[in-house]
Structure 1
Amino acid sequence: MTRSAKRKPVTLDEIESFLDLVARLMKKFPRQAELMTPIWRALERERDKRVETNVILAAARARLTRSPSHTMD
């Protein structure tokens, strides 16, 4: 098994924590803050993808509760 196969996916809370960390670093090192914007953008993209996935999964579950003839197994 490869190392990446063993790793658990990063959670939404972890992504938010990393955004907080980058924000603190930007404040602490204002002259280098612009260099951190690609990291910020990447974290925001990952956060947005996780949120969108969670919304889709919740919508699918809600649809199944409204339609008892369809069950998710």
Structure 2
Amino acid sequence: MSRAAKRKPVTIDEIESFLDLVARLMGKFPRQAELMTPIWRALERERDKRVETNTILAAAQARLARSPNHTMD
């Protein structure tokens, strides 16, 4: 098994921490801040995808819990 296969997915909190880091770098280096916008956008997209996935999984669990036939066959 490769190291990548063993690695846990990055969490939303970790992505938020990286956004904080990029924001600090943008503030510290304002002349280069525009160069960091692709990184910012990528982090936001990844965060938004993970939030959406978590929302969908929670909705599916809620639907399953209230379903009269909630056995997994």
- Structure 2 residue aligned with 1:18: 18
Relative to 1, partners in 2 of residues 1:65 and 1:25: Cα closer, same or farther, differing over 3 Å? same
Call closer, same or farther: CA 1:72–1:47 in 2, change over 3 Å: farther
> May I ask how many residue pairs the two structures share in their alignment?
73
Q: Post-superposition shift, 1:72? A: 4.8
Give the CA RMSD over aligned residues.
1.3
Q: What's the TM-score, normalizing by structure 1?
A: 0.92
Runs of 4+ in 1 over 2 A off after TM superposition: none
- Percent identity among equivalent residues? 89
Counterpart residue number, 1:34: 34
